[in-house]
Amino acid sequence: MRDRAAALTALLTAEAMNLLDSTIVQVAAPAVHQSLPGPVSDIPWFSAAYTLPFAVLLITGGRLGDLAGRRRVFRIGVTAFLLTSLACALAPASAALIVFRAAQGAAAAVIIPQTIGLIRAMFTGAALSRALGAIGPVMGLAAVCGPVLGGVLTEAWSWRSAFLVNVPLSALVLLLARNLPEDRAPGRPRLDLPGTALAIAGTGLLVYPLAEMSTPDYPLLAGGVAVLVFFVLHQRRTRTPLVEPSLFAGRRFPAALVTSALFFTATSGLTLVVVLHEQLDAGAGVRAAGLTLVPWSAGLGVASWIAGSILVPRFGNRVMPAGIAVLVAGLVTACVVTAHGVFLGALGVIGIGAGLFSPAFFTAALHAVRPAEVGSAAGLLNAVQQLGATVGVALLGGVFFGGGTVAAYRIAIVVMIGAAGGSALMAGNRRSRFSRDRGYRVS
């Protein structure tokens, strides 16, 4: 039991490191630019250089775990993440930092898809439900805490400390990873090289213009959609698909992908909008802007614990739309109030809604995935999350600069209503394989 707890800690810490690193630079980027020689156009690429290879390589990273063993691939990825984090902290110029950030994002793409398969290899029954339910809260807290930690570290010490924090965390993960079991897909699946190339090209063409946070390059976006359509056609014809077609036999997993994309579009974009509003509209400093998200983090942490331990086992999928309803209520309050204290309270309500949603979502989305589908499911789910987060930063960031904070919140409300529709589709399947075989109540 103690070994499994240590192994789960390693996996959840790795999940947290990735999201911390993808958001921590949002606040630290201006300080990085002041410290390192380079043009002002480099600023958005301090974040985009990480998110682009991360999003592009997630599907391939999931398949590598199927082929070579998830524990082995996980440990290789964490080692690479440690070394590239150290390189980022020691970067002598902007161009070098961008290159190191790209390598760091590639390492994260190898790490993250392995966590779901390894959790499923270690736990069964109610313990599996609790372990999978822990992923969402950890990811949500890390995503919100990233700007907070980035602001505190940058103002107290240096932006380099925002990268150095990954070094002891990675070392801890490698130490605890000794308790992980080896796990891989049954049989001997092959790596679909043409499918891998199409997935990388299509995802890259979609994410690249969005990651720049400028006016989207619509021909590139259209090209990305076309390549991904060709990728889908190729997957239907090949004997060794990169993505298992059985994932799309029912409506649950496709609905999970749509719901995840919309949820992370709204929440990731909102995090950026709050930080920008505090710095540019309210005149707050870096640390104060980051600390504004503390009510969100606190609400998410408390609500996710209650949802994962009490509400999801009792009420099942019905917790998802309830969480989104609470989140939308917080957004509506943030739109109509002007008092700063009420605004902070609204952020707390948003966090509570996100905390209620996340454990129910990840439990419902992943319990029905079979062993042969784990690599594909993990890679796809994480890729869609990253794409949603990238779209959210680009969309809500653009709306903020064009129409203001309230306009960005209104767009987020519309997106979250769409996520509620997706979660309703997931919850509509009243009986799942897990509810029949493992005692998880889905209602």
Mind spelling out the 3-state secondary structure of 273-300? HHHHHHHHHCCCCHHHHHHCCHHHHHHH
List the single range of 143-147, 221-225, 318-322, 372-376 with lowest mean pLDDT: 143-147
Name the token pair of 436.
């029949």
Average pLDDT score over residue span 144-158: 72
Asked if pLDDT for residue 250 goes beyond 60, the answer is yes
Residue 214, pLDDT score: 57
CA atoms of 335 and 328, how far apart (whole Å): 11
CA atoms of 35 and 45, how far apart (whole Å): 15
Per-chain mean pLDDT for the chain: 79
Q: Are 414 and 156 in contact (CB under 8 A)?
A: no
- The residue among 196 and 357 whose pLDDT is bigger is 357
Asked if pLDDT for residue 434 goes beyond 60, the answer is no
Percentage with pLDDT > 70 across the chain: 85
* pLDDT, tens digit (0-9, with 9 covering 90-100), for 19-47: 777 777 767 777 777 778 777 767 767 77
Residue from 179, 132, 69 nearest 358 by CA: 132
Average pLDDT score over residue span 283-288: 69
Residue from 296, 292, 289 nearest 29 by CA: 289
pLDDT tier for residue 443 given thresholds of 50, 70 and 90: very low
Residue 45, pLDDT score: 75
Residue from 380, 117, 131, 439 nearest 256 by CA: 380
Residue 170, pLDDT score: 93
Residue 222's CB is within 10 A of a number of other CB atoms, namely 12
* pLDDT, tens digit (0-9, with 9 covering 90-100), for 292-340: 778 887 888 788 878 877 888 788 778 888 888 999 898 888 888 767 7
CA atoms of 389 and 274, how far apart (whole Å): 15
Asked if pLDDT for residue 243 goes beyond 80, the answer is no
Helix axes 374-403, 43-68, angle to 10 degrees: 170
Residue 1, pLDDT score: 57
List the single range of 12-21, 44-53, 230-239, 278-287 with lowest mean pLDDT: 278-287
Residue 172, pLDDT score: 93
Residue 16's CB is within 10 A of a number of other CB atoms, namely 19
- The residue among 389 and 187 whose pLDDT is bigger is 389
Q: How many CA atoms lie within 13 A of 89 on its CB side?
A: 19
Please give the distance of CA 91 from its chain centroid, rounded to a whole number. 26
Q: Are 113 and 76 in contact (CB under 8 A)?
A: no
Asked if pLDDT for residue 435 goes beyond 50, the answer is no
Name the token pair of 409.
């919140």
Q: Are 399 and 411 in contact (CB under 8 A)?
A: yes
CA atoms of 373 and 257, how far apart (whole Å): 15
- The residue among 247 and 74 whose pLDDT is bigger is 74
Residue 343, pLDDT score: 83
CA atoms of 86 and 349, how far apart (whole Å): 37
Name the token pair of 236.
């239907």
Q: How many CA atoms lie within 13 A of 360 on its CB side?
A: 32
Asked if pLDDT for residue 363 goes beyond 70, the answer is yes
Q: Which residue has the tokens 């209602």?
A: 443
Q: Which residue has the tokens 């209104």?
A: 410
Percentage with pLDDT > 90 across the chain: 9
| DSSP code of residue 93 | S
The overall longest dimension of the chain from CA atoms, in Å, is 60
Residue 86, pLDDT score: 93
Asked if pLDDT for residue 216 goes beyond 70, the answer is no
